[in-house]
Amino acid sequence: MRIVITGGCGFLGRRLAIRLLQEGSALGAIDDLVLFDHAAPALPLPEDRRLAVVTGDIADRAAVARVIAPGTDAVYHLAAVVSAEAETDTDLGYRVNIDGTRAVLDACRALGSRPRVVFTSSLAVYGGDLPPAAGDLTPLTPQNSYGVTKAIGELLVTDYSRKGFIDGRALRLPTVVVRPGRPNRAATTFASSIIREPLCGQDAVCPVSPDMVMAVASPRAVVNGLMHALGIPGEAFGWSRALQLPGFSVSVGEMAEAVRRAGGAAAFARIKWQPDPLVAAIVGGVPRVLKAPRAEALGFTCDSGIDEVVQNFIEDDLPLQRQLAG
Amino acid sequence: MRIVITGGCGFLGRRLAIRLLQEGSALGAIDDLVLFDHAAPALPLPEDRRLAVVTGDIADRAAVARVIAPGTDAVYHLAAVVSAEAETDTDLGYRVNIDGTRAVLDACRALGSRPRVVFTSSLAVYGGDLPPAAGDLTPLTPQNSYGVTKAIGELLVTDYSRKGFIDGRALRLPTVVVRPGRPNRAATTFASSIIREPLCGQDAVCPVSPDMVMAVASPRAVVNGLMHALGIPGEAFGWSRALQLPGFSVSVGEMAEAVRRAGGAAAFARIKWQPDPLVAAIVGGVPRVLKAPRAEALGFTCDSGIDEVVQNFIEDDLPLQRQLAG
């Protein structure tokens, strides 16, 4: 089994790679695992002869076709320009998120073997007048370019799957909390920062008010979902290959209280509340509550709550995070 | 006022051009009207010094930028590969309908003047599990590549409008009946053929059963909609620039009866019923009933029924059509 992960040096890609090497995939044992990314990995990867890293541009069709080479059984397409960056640099966002996705899908199609493709979409596909809870049946009127490019990716994955070019599935991820590493250019990056930094003894800025509710899932839950998604028969998806994954709803104030419970008053005091209207508009424009009955019926699960998420972070990431911070 | 119509030599583009030259646009009198198309016009155009025809490839960014030149006030983007052709030739459909649309939008953006753009979308954006009546709030799960590329176009028009690059609007047209000229490669082309050909003394094949219901509008109603759309303030559209235009529902059997009323038993007998499952699947997969309260509130209207549509065809198109047939 040969699997390619685009954006494979990002934190989700890296964690997924480690899981695949340890456990194998839902489709079989791993012989070759290729991480494709625009930059070399910032975090350590396991020493494993099955693992290779290739750097290149996701919109470079020739480079993508070389990586998604004959013999590739499955592709995780995680590479993307994230929300705040896609909003300020439209051309870059379109190039990576649309042209890059088309390059990946066409390389998969060229294999002629209908490979499984797992594409990561986002809550940013929702926007505008939202129902109290959003999910698979919510009309998509995204209000930022990131969400637009992800909605387009979902349409492409569904069309290529319907035509038998690939066997794709597009997972709408909740906001992932706690991301390890450094803040990225996602508008939601603060939701990780306000947990991660205080537990490492650093200050973090929170640009939204404590009563802002977000629909989140831990890296563990999301990587579980990515692992699980590969094994589901394509026919199970029905009319659309897009699938809302489950997440749980928590206010930013409750996140801060979980930091206090895990790290004490000193940690809590390191959260600095400095409202930023641009961030608040993007974050406030995505659903606060998710309904994911279709994903739940397909066996996807989510975390029990914010305290479990914080404990997972402490177990999985805090030692390495402290090293980075030190 | 300088206006560009892509796909301007198609039947809607031509008819729109004639109306614009006769009446002016909602934004002001016409000084220059450019029809951009991949082929020279098949039907006669008015002798008018304000009118120019440019042939070229809609996905050729340089060619499109030359046509959408500085001084362009508005663009009607009608150029597209139609449904059956986009379904059988995926690459061509994506190239024209996605790359071409992006070329048009980027050329408009490069003007720096936020030009009005009217983009024609389609009922093909709907698909899968449809509600009894479809409209602006129906989730889009298109089941053919044409619908996928039109849904993508809607997303792009909305994103570019939100960002202030253009002032766009995307109109979901009902099936246009009666199209003059020859059958095209749209799956719905038969709905025009079974009226047009019998009234010209020719046989026409109907590939679906008489009880198939379709949501249709006449060329007059659609061109009225295209004219009207240009004058609506962008702010009136809200979260999405996509808008379902009104259409009326009629069975194919009722269309045939209207042919009998207008052309007699001989005309009726020229409709040959030969089921084609591929066509029936595409046509049966789009909504049979439309709800368009948003468009109606914005002043869009539709025809009174199939007899009016047939009479309009007889008045507007039959003489030229008989010439072509002869």
| H, E, C per residue of B212-260 | CEEEEECHHHHHHHHHHHHCCCHHHHCCCCEEECCCEEEEHHHHHHHHH
Taking contacts as CB-CB distances below 8 angstroms, the residues of chain B near A155 are: 140, 142, 148, 151-152
* Shortest distance, CA B154 to any CA of chain A (angstroms): 10
The one-character DSSP state at A99 is: I
* A311 inside 8 A of chain B by CB: no
CA distance B196 to B190: 9
Residue B257 · residue B307 · CB < 8 Å: no
Q: Kindly state the helix (H) or strand (E) to which residue B299 belongs, with its residue range.
A: none
> Tokens at residue A233, please?
């028969």
> Tokens at residue A299, please?
């066996």
CATH code of the domain occupying A2-175+217-244: 3.40.50.720
Q: Structural domain boundaries of chain A?
A: 2-175+217-244, 189-216+247-289+304-325
Q: Kindly state the helix (H) or strand (E) to which residue B57 belongs, with its residue range.
A: none
List, in order, residues 6 or more apart from B220 with CB less than 8 Å away: B303, B312, B316
Paired with A272 in beta bridges are A205
CATH code of the domain occupying B2-176+217-244: 3.40.50.720
Give the sign of the dihedral formed by CA B73, CA B76, CA B81, CA B83: positive
Q: What is the pTM of this model?
A: 0.96
CB pairs under 8 A between A and B: 62
CATH architecture of A189-216+247-289+304-325: Alpha-Beta Complex (3.90)
Query: Which of B128, B162, B163 is opposite residue A239, by nearest beta carbon?
Result: B128
CA distance A306 to A215: 11
Query: Which of A102, A138, A141 is opposite residue B240, by nearest beta carbon?
Result: A141
Taking contacts as CB-CB distances below 8 angstroms, the residues of chain A near B97 are: none
pLDDT in tens, chain B (326 residues): 999 999 999 999 999 999 999 999 999 999 999 999 999 988 889 999 999 999 999 999 999 999 999 999 999 999 999 888 999 999 999 999 999 999 999 999 999 999 999 999 999 999 999 999 999 999 999 999 999 999 999 999 999 999 999 999 999 999 999 999 888 888 899 999 999 999 999 999 999 999 999 999 999 999 999 999 999 999 999 999 999 999 999 999 999 999 999 999 999 999 999 999 988 988 888 899 999 999 999 999 999 999 999 999 999 999 988 887 76
Q: Is B146 a catalytic residue?
A: yes
Angle at B149 between CA B146 and CA B155, to 5 degrees: 140
ipTM for the predicted complex: 0.95
* B277 inside 8 A of chain A by CB: no
CA distance B322 to A44: 75
> Tokens at residue A323, please?
């090293």
* Shortest distance, CA B183 to any CA of chain A (angstroms): 25
- In CATH terms, the fold of domain B189-216+247-288+304-325 is UDP-galactose 4-epimerase; domain 1 (3.90.25)
In the stretch 159-198 of chain A, residues with CB closer than 8 A to chain B read: 159, 162-163, 165
Residue B199 · residue B315 · CB < 8 Å: no
CA distance B106 to B48: 29
How far CA B147 is from CA of A131, A135, A145, A265, B186, in Å, comes to 25, 22, 21, 55, 12
